[in-house]
């Protein structure tokens, strides 16, 4: 028997779960608001079914409190479509999965609840071992060397949960981080795994060719169209289509993509009849789409359609603990079971390097060094100059946090000093104005506002670009909230 807590302000929902679960021998407790929920989870529950929208508290806040008090409790989020993005955030914070209301498929509902209960009731190590074996098998199948870092393991957990949902996913990440192989992994653990997975780079085709590749064309649609051609949306029917560098797609293509997402229909080039397709779309970009929207190079409606669920692939420099594993993998992959060994000095240098080209660059460097090595050990002399000459950051580990604060503080002091200098110059300018001769004060104030707004816009845009378009990360750097940042960015634009 398991103890289950249902937190939902709809009385009917509590009644439903009492009926749905009680007959299975579980002990059910229902809380209709955050206050009652907090009283309830003073005790331990194996499973909490938590509605995101409660009258007195945000569901995300309750999730954090539950996981802090009872880390072993499994939490399933209940949400409407409009809050799916928050549900994904909840998974990243430790929720097991999420359910969309209304519950149309009771078998699927029962399956998710049973899996969550199995996880909660089983010994953690045994369950985790079984889950890790399944994960490793699938990763190997698609050629995805994810690494063991906490960031990547969390990402894979979220990706696995999302794979079971029939929703569009946007993958963000720098060039070379492995966006396509992550998309393949999502496809491989989804219910579409036995159907086609097709990938296309939107930046590799002209607008006309991309139009034909995506949507197909009829015979005679244009010069050279000597026969009917099915586009990859049709070929990938009931499977998955991966669109890399979605930000490179021309605006007319974006209009057609929006139509597919909204209606599930395509038109071949030169065709007059709509064609129904059931193709799951996974898009990827290394560009800040928010900036492209601001520059009117990317449709805002398509952006919001894609941005419901976003996965961020961390850069290699953000997970240096994975570099040794990746390096060894590439050595064995390219040079068999007995490749040359990487010396300690070489491994230290690889871990220290910032890897602007990410995993792709690491693979190329490993291949280059192995080709140059005639012996059994790869030494520093085989390192490319750019890596060999990388200077280590000399900060005593015990004082690393203080050093970071000092750097950040000195940077803030510099900015404040510069602003004071600008204020002094404005004072000097004001002192030179002959107000008796007439002076347009409203124009002066408008100009000052224009200058500060533009400066703020550039600062926000820079933060968003550095954060890969992730508002939470940019807001953290700028010491504000994502909501305030979105408001300011729109206001400043």
- Nearest-angstrom CA–CA distance, 472 and 464: 9
Helices 124-142/179-188 angle, 10° precision:
120
- Nearest-angstrom CA–CA distance, 240 and 232: 10
Specify whether the CB–CB gap between 367 and 333 falls below 8 A.
Answer: no
- Nearest-angstrom CA–CA distance, 48 and 46: 7
* Alpha-carbon distances of 391 from 315, 361, 368, 374, rounded to whole Å: 20, 19, 21, 27
Specify whether the CB–CB gap between 216 and 269 falls below 8 A.
Answer: yes
When pLDDT is averaged across residues 470-490 and rounded to a whole number, the result is 76
Q: Tens digit of pLDDT for each residue in 458-474?
A: 888 888 888 877 888 88
385 has a pLDDT exceeding 50: yes
Strands 341-342 and 74-79, sheet pairing: unpaired
Specify whether the CB–CB gap between 59 and 50 falls below 8 A.
Answer: yes
DSSP states of 21-50 as a string?
A: HHTTT-EEEEESSHHHHHHHTTS--SEEEE
Q: Tens digit of pLDDT for each residue in 141-172?
A: 888 888 888 889 889 989 998 998 889 999 99
DSSP 83: G
Torsion sign, CA atoms 476, 481, 486, 488: negative
When pLDDT is averaged across residues 91-111 and rounded to a whole number, the result is 86
Lowest mean pLDDT, pick from 113-117, 242-246, 334-338, 342-346: 334-338
Q: pLDDT confidence of 199, banded at 50, 70, 90?
A: very high
Indicate the SS3 state at residue 126.
Answer: helix
88 has a pLDDT exceeding 60: yes
When pLDDT is averaged across residues 321-333 and rounded to a whole number, the result is 89
pLDDT of amino acid 125: 42
- Nearest-angstrom CA–CA distance, 349 and 367: 16
For residue 302, the cross-strand partners are none
- Nearest-angstrom CA–CA distance, 292 and 298: 5
Helix (H) or strand (E) holding 484: helix 482-492
Q: Which segments within 253-299 are labelled E, that is strand?
A: 265-266, 275-276, 280-285
pTM equals 0.65
CB within 8 Å of 477: residues ≥ 6 apart = 463, 466, 467
**Most confident segment among 286-290, 401-405, 428-432, 487-491:** 286-290
Torsion sign, CA atoms 33, 38, 43, 45: positive
Q: Which pair of structure tokens corresponds to residue 360? A: 């792709």
Q: pLDDT confidence of 274, banded at 50, 70, 90?
A: very high
401 has a pLDDT exceeding 50: no
DSSP 204: G
Specify whether the CB–CB gap between 7 and 49 falls below 8 A.
Answer: yes
SS (H, E, C) 384-450: CHHHHCCCCCCCCHHHHHHHHHHHHHHHHHHHHHHHHHHHHHHHHHHHCCCHHHCCCHHHHHHHHHH
- Nearest-angstrom CA–CA distance, 124 and 20: 27
**How many CB atoms neighbour CB 240 within 10 A?**
24
Torsions phi, psi for 237 (to 5 deg): -50, 130
CA 187 to chain centre: 16
Indicate the SS3 state at residue 171.
Answer: strand
Burial state string for 320-330 with b = 16 or more CB within 10 A and e = fewer than 16: eebbbebbbeb
Q: What angle do CA 199, 202, 204 make, to 5 degrees?
A: 100
Q: In the chain, what percentage of residues exceed pLDDT 90?
A: 43
Q: Which segments within 233-363 are labelled E, that is strand?
A: 240-244, 265-266, 275-276, 280-285, 310-312, 341-342
DSSP 339: P
- Nearest-angstrom CA–CA distance, 35 and 41: 10
Average model confidence (pLDDT) for the chain? 85
- Nearest-angstrom CA–CA distance, 430 and 23: 80
Q: Which pair of structure tokens corresponds to residue 174? A: 């720098």
């Amino acid at each position: 028997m398991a103890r289950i807590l249902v937190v939902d302000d709809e009385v009917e929902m509590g009644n439903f779960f009492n009926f749905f679960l009680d007959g299975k021998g579980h002990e059910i407790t229902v809380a209709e608001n955050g206050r009652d929920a907090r009283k309830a989870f003073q005790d331990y529950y194996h499973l909490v079914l938590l509605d995101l929208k409660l009258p007195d508290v945000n569901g995300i806040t309750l999730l954090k409190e539950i996981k802090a008090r009872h880390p072993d409790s499994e939490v399933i989020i209940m949400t409407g479509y409009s809050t799916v993005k928050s549900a994904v955030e909840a998974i990243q914070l430790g929720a097991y999965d999420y359910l969309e209301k209304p519950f149309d498929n009771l078998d699927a509902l029962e399956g998710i609840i049973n899996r969550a209960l199995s996880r909660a009731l089983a010994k953690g190590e045994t369950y985790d071992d079984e889950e890790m074996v399944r994960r490793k098998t699938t990763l190997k199948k698609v050629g995805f060397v994810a690494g063991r870092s906490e960031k990547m393991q969390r990402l894979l957990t979220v990706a696995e949960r999302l794979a079971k949902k029939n929703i569009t996913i946007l993958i963000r990440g720098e060039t070379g981080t492995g966006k396509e192989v992550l998309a393949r992994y999502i496809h491989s653990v989804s219910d579409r795994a036995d159907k086609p997975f097709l990938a296309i780079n939107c930046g590799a085709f002209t607008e006309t060719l991309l139009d034909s590749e995506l949507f197909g064309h009829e015979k005679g649609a244009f010069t050279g169209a000597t026969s009917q051609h099915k586009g990859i949306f049709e070929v990938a029917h009931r499977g998955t289509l991966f669109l890399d560098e979605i930000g490179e797609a021309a605006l007319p293509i974006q209009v057609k993509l929006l139509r597919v997402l909204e209606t599930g229909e395509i038109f071949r080039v030169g065709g007059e009849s709509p064609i129904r397709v059931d193709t799951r779309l996974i898009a990827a970009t290394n560009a800040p789409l928010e900036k492209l929207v601001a520059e009117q190079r990317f449709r805002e409606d398509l952006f919001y359609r894609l941005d419901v669920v976003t996965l961020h692939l961390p850069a290699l420099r953000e997970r240096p603990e994975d570099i040794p594993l990746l390096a060894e993998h590439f050595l064995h992959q390219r040079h068999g079971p007995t490749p040359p060994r990487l010396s300690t000095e070489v491994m230290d240098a690889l871990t220290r390097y910032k890897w602007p080209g990410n995993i792709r660059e690491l693979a190329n460097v490993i291949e280059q060094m192995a080709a140059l090595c005639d012996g059994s050990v790869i030494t520093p002399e085989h390192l490319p100059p750019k890596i060999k000459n990388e200077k280590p950051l000399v900060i005593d580990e015990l004082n690393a946090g203080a050093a970071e604060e000092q750097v950040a503080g000195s940077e803030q002091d510099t900015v404040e000093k510069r602003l004071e200098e600008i204020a002094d110059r404005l004072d000097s300018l004001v002192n030179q104005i002959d107000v008796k001769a007439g002076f347009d004060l409203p124009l002066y104030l408008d100009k000052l506002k224009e200058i500060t707004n533009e400066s703020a816009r550039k600062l926000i845009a820079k933060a968003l670009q550095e954060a890969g378009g992730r508002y939470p990360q940019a807001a953290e750097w700028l010491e504000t909230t994502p909501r305030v940042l979105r408001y300011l960015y729109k206001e400043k634009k």
